[in-house]
Structure 1
Amino acid sequence: MKTVLITGSNGLLGQKLISVARNSDSIKLIATSKGPNRYPFPDGYHYAEVDISDAGSIEKAIALYQPDVIINTAAITNVDTCHVERDLCRKVNVEAVKNLVEVCERYKIHLIHLSTDFVFDGKNGPYTEDATPNPVSYYGESKLDAEDLVRKSSSKWAIIRTVLVYGLTENMSRSNIVLWVKSSLEKGTPIKVVNDQWRTPTLAEDLALGCLLAAEKEAQGIYHISGKDTVTILEMAERVADFWRLDKSLISPVSSKSLNQEAVRPLKTGFILDKATRTLGYSPKSLEEGFKLLDKQMKGLISK
């Protein structure tokens, strides 16, 4: 049985990892995050408050629980927040990762670190793992700097990059594209959606399973884990409307430039999944299959 410690377990991916792994016969699960536990069911895992930007806090937890694997999901992922609050972004996305790398080296722990499609410039997507990163935002720069720290580590490591994660938990700290579009259209609120950004949107459950496959198989190197449908964000919004039979006329296509967002977004990312499919056995759901799961969860059937 492997002891797996999750950082950032209060986030969407963190909670999905708890949901998938807490009753596993092969995993002893330790969930950690800042503040009280947000996952609503207490059984099948242990929760501890840990601040990964505090080296002492990490050291104490690692000495106590002695994990075989750390899955680092903790990060500031709001691209505009990272652009404006750069010191905070660097503290959480880079300096905290340095703390994790150092403790993994000392205790010989397998580090699985989550990264992003935003390490790429969006000129040549969809991307394989060996494509050359060239971030266009400070968020992307911070995530690439963290990747570099992990790659130079002497411990066993894997980097899992992902794209535009969506899903639902009982205690959401922030929304995501699917929930925002669905909620807006249900209220009859007109929305503007970019028509020139391409992604491979990722169901949170699929990403959690990909992380656990990497832990189980002791994967090393970089892996691209995302959905398999390459769509514009506009097309994704329209498919949300179609699935839930909502009014598509409320959706207005706009260009990225017209939104005047703080930070630049790469235009065409998305991932080629051949490596993860071949070496990990990763098999993501289609967008509509993901929507079906969300619909069940929204009707109160979230797996306990």
Structure 2
Amino acid sequence: MKVLVTGSNGLLGQYLIQRLSALPGYEVVATGRGPNRLKMQDGYVYESVNLGDEAGVKGLVERHRPDAIIHAGAMTQADDCERNKDACWMANVTATRYLLQGAERTGSFFLFLSTDFVFDGLGGPYREDDPVNPVNYYGASKAAAERIVKQAKVPWAIARTVLVYGLADDPRRSNIITWVKNNLEQKKKLKVVNDQWRTPTFVQDLAEGCRLIIDKRAQGVFHLSGKDMLTPYDMAVQVAHYLNLDTRLFEKVDATSFKQPAKRPAKTGFIIEKAEKELGYSPHSFEEGLKAILGEGPAPKENGA
């Protein structure tokens, strides 16, 4: 199976490339903006493409004629999206339309990565058929892209996810685990939010969930996240305890303590029964993901491959 992965320089893209290119029977084409920034440079083809370039995007799909496209490329920082709405719309909506038009020419299965931020956070955790109602522009752009995908003339799936964490090749990409570790090791005090709830997602689980979807050509919307409903404060405390760092450096605060351009939904998180039943999706606990990132965890769960 030939698979085109967009956003390959991102955290999920990195793990998708690693996972898929290691499997027999897979041919992987990776694309991102600018040069390939992954440490692993072999075992796949890389092309730099600006997803806002209609001709470039359609040309990429036409050249490679993939059996499946995993569209993980996006503008994902909610505050950046709020500040620069035109760039957000181009990256998250217009680029999705260009890729889908390319997929319709080649008959490629289309998997779109979306977010818990399509929900308003008033009724979490959410099922796949709960109504969307975004409270910020990032969520609105992803909800708009979902509507485009659902009208596609090719088989499609949408994988929504929540607060993805893991170790990136790019050291500039931080996550809550490295943020807590680095600051506490330097004896810095941290304000940590305790009034937002999520089901954080280990990036290797998300990559495996995407593989399961394209392997099975499973159509429709799937929620792929962890099972543990935690606040950022809960996560930070688990990190500190695991590393024997001082939790007294934490200050428990609510979201109003931070002035952020984009409003955050209060309680999202996912019910993942559909993915478990239909895909065989089986995510790690947050504790297991934490141990894996810090080098003492189990091997990644691989469902049937």
- What is the TM-score normalised by the length of structure 1? 0.95
Name 1:177's counterpart in structure 2. 176
Which residue matches 2:226? 227
Query: CA 1:25–1:100 in structure 2 vs 1: closer, same or farther (change >3 Å)?
Result: same
- 1:214 maps to which residue? 213
| Distance across 2 between alignment mates of 1:106 and 1:173 | 37
Deviations 1:282-303 (CA, angstroms, capped at 9, x unpaired):
00001111011101189xxxxx
Q: Which residue of 1 aligns with 2:89?
A: 90
2:79 is the counterpart of 1:80: yes
Aligned to 1:203: 202
| Residue identity opposite 2:221 in structure 1 | I
Per-residue Cα deviation, 1:16-66 (whole angstroms, up to 9, x for no partner): 111111121021111111111111122211111122111111122112211
Deviation of 1:144 (Å):
0.3
Instruction: Verify: 1:131 aligned to 2:107, yes or no.
Output: no
Q: Secondary structure at the match of 2:9?
A: coil
Contact 1:51 1:57 in 2 (8 A): yes
Change (3 A) 1:93 1:172: farther
| Aligned residue identity for 2:154 | S
1:281-300, aligned counterparts within 5 Å? 281-296=280-295
Q: Which amino acid aligns with 1:223?
A: F
Determine the C-alpha separation between the residues in 1 that align with 2:192 and 2:60. Answer: 43
RMSD (CA atoms):
1.3
**Residue segments in structure 1 that go unaligned for 5+ positions in a row:** 299-304
CA shift, 1:257, in A, is: 1.4
Does the 8 A contact of 2:191 with 2:253 survive in 1?
Answer: yes
Query: Match of 2:61?
Result: 62
CA apart distance, 1:174: 2.2
Post-superposition offset of 1:104: 1.2
Cα separation, 1, equivalents of 2:218 and 2:250: 41
For the 8 Å contact 1:30–1:47, the answer to whether it is kept is yes
Cα displacement (A) at 1:118: 0.3
Task: Note if contact 1:193-1:254 (Cα within 8 Å) is conserved in structure 2.
Answer: yes
Return the letter of the residue paired with 2:200: P
Quick check: 1:12–1:172 contact (8 Å CA) kept in 2?
no
Give the drift of 1:87: 0.7
Distance 2:29 2:96 in 1: 18
8 Å contact 2:61–2:99 — kept in the other structure?
no
Instruction: Verify the 8 A CA contact 1:184 1:191 in the aligned structure 2.
Output: yes
Task: Give aligned pairs, total.
Answer: 297
Q: Within 2, Cα distance between the matches of 1:172 and 1:94?
A: 28
* Superposition deviation, residue 233 in structure 1: 1.3
Distance 2:123 2:43 in 1: 43
Matches within 5 A, 1:41-52: 41-52=40-51
The answer as to whether partners of 2:196 and 2:266 remain within 8 angstroms in 1 is: yes
Structure 1: distance between partners of 2:177 and 2:93 = 29
Tell me the alpha carbon deviations over residues 189-210 of structure 1, each in whole angstroms, 9 at most, x when there is no partner. Answer: 1111111000000011110000
The alignment status of 1:71 with 2:58, answered yes or no, reads: no
Partner of 1:301: none
Q: Provide the identity percentage.
A: 48
Distance (whole Å) between structure 2 residues aligned to residue 42 and residue 164 of structure 1: 27
The farther-off stretch of 128-137 and 97-106 is: 97-106
Does the 8 Å contact 1:12/1:167 carry over to 2?
Answer: yes
CA offsets, 1:233-272, max 9 Å, x none? 1111111111111111111111111212111100000000
